Structure 1
Amino acid sequence: MTQTVWITGGSSGIGAALAAEWAKQGANLILSGRDEARLSAVAEALDTQTLTLPFDVRDEAAMLAATEKAIAWTGNVDVFVANAGVSQRSQALKTQMQVYRDIIDIDLTAQIAASQALLPHMAERGSGKLVFISSIAGKVGVPMRTAYCAAKFGLIGYADALRAEMSNRGVDVHVIAPGSVATNVSRNALTSDGTKRGKSDGVIDNGIPAADAAKTIVDAIGEGQREIIVAQGMEEAMGEMRRTPDQLFDQVAAMVAAGYIEKMEAEG
């Protein structure tokens, strides 16, 4: 059966590369992002059925409307990739509070809202995969990225708790922690006053090619890996040091299987 995969932040970088990789494997693709023209360009290059649903992830009404259209397109969404996001390059001492609000809204709150909107569909079907693109910076606090780290750490926390709740409902949850991948993430990062940085980092420019990262991610999801680190060198070592053991995931899932949720709800 042909899978339908919905990717936010699908107009460039890891999102566009994931679309290309899943298309190679025969999936139908739904692409979302703010720039309709760029989404269309990515879609036209894919040798598969595509649907573009442009919207700003912070516009909850638009997101809810897009969710209805995404489900109606083929009757189901098998994989949802929460990939939309923005990074940061500024010291905490110099960063305006609005930058924290904006990054956390885009990278965390909006991703949770989109997932919550789609969750009933997957839970009712008893199948589906939710994929959260976090970062090595969601495992290790990295200087010049305090807001970004806060959001990406939070995304992993939400995903891990959600995985446990969905463990007996047929819905899988995957966390992706990329290191430096060759995209425009640094160029588009917000500075202390919220403006775009406008230049890249050497470590990003020399990072893992986006197509290679996408293949690693898609293959690992297919293998059922719950936490997927996509990095090299020191970044890979840091991620592995902070990797959550599978035994811990299993232990929390066992709590759910033993009636933890029902007991908590009964206690009010």
Structure 2
Amino acid sequence: MVDQGGKTAWVTGASSGIGEALVKAFVAGGGSAILSGRRVSELERVAKETQAPERCHILPFDTEDFAALASMAAQAVAFTGKVDILVNNAGISQRSLAIDTDFSVYERIVSVDLMAPIALTQALLPHLLGNGDGQLIMISSVAGKAGVPLRTAYCAAKHGLVGYSDALRSEIAGQGVKVLVVAPGSVRTNVSRNALNADGSVRGASDAAIDNGIDPNEVAQIIWTAVAEGKREIVIAEGMEANIPVLRAQNPEQLFDMVEAMVANGYAQKMAPKDSSG
């Protein structure tokens, strides 16, 4: 377990999945946590389930309320007097072919998965740089390293987050603030269940890859260890998903053939949510 004593981490999307696991592991390591999201009751549940609820602060807000972020940053800093780590984890995914997808879905996913973390980072960055130390953790995805079917909006947003993070890292190198990009593959969360369909409705169903994915608690431990080791980017994936970023860098033609074959072999039809009544 990584020693987090005396540190404060602000985690968005803290009510479930990777965000919840990150909070619990951080508090177990001796740190204080600021839990953000929209579901107050779930944030309160997570705080109560940590080893030290008194070191948790609930700060609910909508990540798309960009005008409120300066105030949210000030409230986060006020909890312990300093935010050492910001984890941009909140996000939504997609399960629909581009040809079928309403443009509003692109607007929503790019807003939540790209513009919101940029806006929150920009709001807190003066505080971090003013302290001369700190850590930014951007939860991207394997889909942020290579394009995969049924996720054109999600891929666009997550690729954008990687680009922003890489550029920001270069600008603030030497000023004490580090940037870690995390690219998870399938993790056992509600990401597929909460994904948007072509019309913007919530999918409401998970899939086998997610259900059999990596335990989020394991993911959290890997992330905190990577921070302690000063890593700048990590991929947390297994099997074929772990190879996707490697192929994109080393043999893109092979990767393109592979994902095109997935679609030709009925991937979209296999991913269609089953009727819950049957």
TM-score relative to the length of structure 2: 0.86
2:194 matched to 1:176? no
Where in structure 2 are the equivalents of 1:1-268 lying within 5 Å? Answer: 2-48=6-52, 49-242=55-248
- Partner amino acid, structure 1, of 2:97: Q
Offset at residue 60 of structure 1 (A): 1.7
Whole-angstrom CA distance in 2 between matches of 1:62 and 1:41 = 24
CA deviation digits over 1:188-244, x for unaligned, max 9?
000000000000010000000111111111111111110011000000111234469
Offset at residue 95 of structure 1 (A): 0.1
Secondary structure of the equivalent of 2:14? coil
- Partner amino acid, structure 2, of 1:54: P
Percentage of matched positions with identical amino acids: 52
- Partner amino acid, structure 1, of 2:84: D
- Partner amino acid, structure 1, of 2:81: G
CA contact (8 A) 1:229 1:240 kept: no
Whole-angstrom CA distance in 2 between matches of 1:77 and 1:157 = 24
Whole-angstrom CA distance in 2 between matches of 1:56 and 1:146 = 24
Which consecutive residues of structure 2, in runs of 5 or more, have no partner in the other structure?
251-278
The 3 A distance-change label for structure 1 pair 201 and 56 is same
- Partner amino acid, structure 2, of 1:92: A
CA contact (8 A) 1:56 1:63 kept: no
Offset at residue 141 of structure 1 (A): 0.1
Offset at residue 183 of structure 1 (A): 0.4
* Matched length: 244
Secondary structure of the equivalent of 1:198? coil
Which consecutive residues of structure 1, in runs of 5 or more, have no partner in the other structure?
245-268
CA deviation digits over 1:48-92, x for unaligned, max 9?
300010000001233222110111111110000000100000000
Q: CA RMSD in A?
A: 1.2
Offset at residue 109 of structure 1 (A): 0.3
Secondary structure of the equivalent of 1:181? coil
Whole-angstrom CA distance in 2 between matches of 1:37 and 1:3 = 25
Secondary structure of the equivalent of 2:195? coil
The 3 A distance-change label for structure 1 pair 243 and 55 is farther
Q: Please identify, of 110-119 and 58-67, the stretch whose mean Cα deviation from structure 2 is larger.
A: 58-67
Q: Which 4+ stretches in 1 moved above 6 angstroms?
A: none
TM-score relative to the length of structure 1: 0.89
CA deviation digits over 1:165-203, x for unaligned, max 9?
010211000000000000000000000000000000100
